[in-house]
Structures are given as C-alpha cells and as structure tokens.
Amino acid sequence: MLEIKNLHARISDGREILKGVDLAVKAGEVHAIMGPNGSGKSTLAGVLSGKPGYEVTAGQVLYQGSDLLAIAADERAREGVFLAFQYPVEIPGVNNMYFLRAALNAVRKQRGESAMDAGQFLKAVRAKLKLLEIGEDLLQRGVNVGFSGGEKKRNEIFQMAMLEPKLAILDETDSGLDIDALQTVARGINALRGPERAIVMITHYQRLLNHVVPDRVHVLSGGKIAKSGGKELALELEQTGYGAYGDAA
C-alpha cells in the first residue's frame, strides 16, 4: 500500500527534517510511528498528504505502486489518502454536513461511484454518528467552529469513517483527549480496520495503542526510523523513554 524509500525533506527555512525514512505498510496493517517532539513525525504526515511548506530533496514514496509525491494534495485525497489533522481547521459559515457531503462526493466521483443524494447521505451519516457519539447538532455547525478539542478529534475520525480511505494517517489524534473520548476515538479507528485499508498512527504516547493495537511500531528519531518492532516495542518505550534513541534533532 505504502512504500517510503530513503525519504529526505526540508522545511521552508532550509532545515532538513526527514533524513532518510524507510517504511513499508501493507494493506490490512496498522502501524504506529512514535517518537520524541521534533523527530519529524508531523513533517512525515505533511509530506505524505501534500501539505504546502515542505520540500522533498531525495527519496521516493509509492502508494499502490505509483509515485504519490507526483500528484497534488486534493488528488491524493481523492485517491484514498486521508489525514486526520492534529489541529483541525475552522471554516466559519460552512456547514459541517455540507462540507462532508462535498468531500464525500468528490471522493466517490474519483472511485466511479455516483454522488449521494441528501437522503442516502443522511442515512450513512446517522450510522457513523452513533459510533463516534457525535450529536447531530454538531453537523449543523460551521466546520470545527466552536468545537471542543475532543469534538474536533472525533469529527476527524467521523470524516474518515465517511470517506473510507485506503490509507489513513492519524496525526496525534490522541493528544488532548480525555479517557472517555480516547476510547470513543479508538472504537472509531478499530471499526475501520480491514483487509483493504492501511492505517498509520502518529503518536507521542503509548496510551492510544492500548485501545488500537498496532501490528508494527516504529520509532522515528532524528529524521529516520531508528527502530521497528511489534506492539511490545511501544510498551518498552513507555518504560525507557526516547532517551535511548539519541538527540531528537
């Protein structure tokens, strides 16, 4: 599904943040990428999703066998790449439901499916709302406007559930969540696990991984994958910290 080879990337001030990342994620797998602050976790998410502000200087990213970096952000999204934002963005005046329907129909069009009418859409929405314990009133509000931190994160996972991506990248989705919200979000993520889908969870802490158990865990440090292992690696990190993996910068 996703193959990252020797990926180097820098930010606008010229600093190189990713210094040769190698990673392969197969369909059906859930991978966790952990690491200290400043290790390049969010940069990796940004580069994969096509966020402006990064320059890839070397390396390659293959998505379903073709060059992911060659296509624009919106095209990547329509091809099935989803990023759950660490800080979801507010869009005043744009109804959350309207936004989601526009997004869903853009993605469906790409998949060769017909646009959903309001009735079908509402039906699909209701089922997912329940899963993520989101009130219908949230849908009628502006996109992320006035949402609490927990509501924003749940809304991201709700969008993911609706859009059914092939590759989901979750950037610190667990940060700022209380334990109940964490469990709800985890339930949402688990419901999306499936043989056709790859999930990459970027997180600083181990606690999300208690609820969404990963197949593989990687430690990103100094812009490279410093260690990879099974789910037990996350527990080990919780004990020892990131100190063993050297200077984050």
Selected binder of other proteins within 28, 142, 149, 176 (CB under 8 A): 142
CB under 8 A: which stretch of 26-34, 69-77, 180-188, 212-220 binds other proteins? Answer: 69-77
Nearer to other proteins, 17 or 225 (CB): 17
Q: Are strands 81-84 and 167-171 parallel, antiparallel or unpaired?
A: parallel
Q: Smallest gap, in angstroms, from Cβ of residue 134 to other proteins? A: 17
Residue 62 found at the interface with other proteins (CB under 8 A): no
Q: Which residues of 47-79 are buried (b: 16+ CB within 10 A; e: fewer)?
A: bbbbeeebeeeebebebeeeebbebeeeebbbb
What does the block give as tokens for 127?
A: 């089922």
Q: Smallest gap, in angstroms, from Cβ of residue 98 to other proteins? A: 8
CA–CA gap between residue 154 and residue 71 (Å, rounded): 28
Q: Smallest gap, in angstroms, from Cβ of residue 33 to other proteins? A: 18
Residue 56 found at the interface with other proteins (CB under 8 A): no
Residues contacting other proteins: total by CB under 8 A:
33
Q: 217-246: which residues touch other proteins (CB under 8 A)?
A: none
Residue 72 found at the interface with other proteins (CB under 8 A): yes
CA–CA gap between residue 61 and residue 133 (Å, rounded): 36
- In the block, which residue shows the tokens 């158990």? 213
Question: Can you list the positions of beta strands (E) in 118-208?
Answer: 142-143, 167-171, 198-203
Residue 50 found at the interface with other proteins (CB under 8 A): yes
Instruction: Spell out, one character per residue from 149 to 188, where the chain touches other proteins: x when CB under 8 A holds, - when not.
Output: ----------x---x-------------------------
Closest CA to 29 of 202, 232, 213, 164: 213
Q: Report in angstroms the alpha-carbon separations of 114 from 105, 109, 120.
A: 8, 6, 11
Residues that bind other proteins (CB under 8 A): 11-12, 49-53, 72-74, 77-78, 82-83, 85, 88-95, 99-100, 102-103, 106-107, 110, 142, 159, 163
